[in-house]
Amino acid sequence: MTILYWILAVVVLAVLWVIFAYNRFITLRFRAKEALSDIDVQLKRRFNLIPNLVEAVKGYMAHERGVLENVTRARAQVATSGGTPIEREGAENMLSNTLKTLFAVAENYPDLKANANFLDLQRELADTENKIQASRRFYNTTVRDLNTKIHSFPSNLIAQSFGFSEEKFFEVDSAQEREVVNVKF
């Protein structure tokens, strides 16, 4: 009878471990989805700030039309690209680069740099860019935890049994973004 209790205890512990491991995978999967959604929220925030920034700049930079058109074009490309933030990454990176160009050109306009609207929008966009980066780091951390659990023994047995698969990391795709930025004064 004692052996039966031991066998029953081992079976109960094994079932509890399976339940715990499965629930951990579910938690990690939903954290990854939440983190991806957080990236999307910040990208949407940036997307909504850009028209206000362009309007604030238009009057000062009439002859810098090309820069404003590039920002508008990049924003439109983001709007039409659809999909998840990972699928839109190239378009989002192009938009970030055009915004950097806009701010660099704005340096040539002292009145614009002193304009309260422009300064507020510039701060908001800088804050949003920081939040986008933080969201991407959080997403990658969550994906790392999930992928590690998927490949670690014995949890990989549960992952395979219930069809859990790896998530893709956010990565820099363009060689241009990997280069060190040279700042010249």
pLDDT at residue number 65: 67
Full set of structural domains in the chain with CATH? 32-178 (1.20.1440.20)
CA distance 164 to 21: 12
Work out the angle at residue 49's Cα, subtended by the Cα atoms of residues 43 and 52, and round it to the nearest 5 degrees: 160
pLDDT at residue number 184: 38
Report pLDDT digits (tens) over 128-181. Answer: 888 888 988 999 999 999 999 999 999 999 999 899 999 888 776 555 444 444
Q: For residues 103 and 157, which has the higher predicted lDDT (pLDDT)?
A: 157
Of 87-96, 109-118, 158-167, the least confident: 109-118
Q: For residues 49 and 182, which has the higher predicted lDDT (pLDDT)?
A: 49
User: In the predicted model, is pLDDT for residue 58 greater than 60?
Assistant: yes
Report pLDDT digits (tens) over 8-25. Answer: 999 999 999 999 999 999
Task: Average the pLDDT over 70-88 and give the result.
Answer: 78
Place of tokens 């930079």: 61
What 3-state DSSP class applies to 84? coil
The H or E element spanning position 40 is: helix 2-58
pLDDT at residue number 72: 78
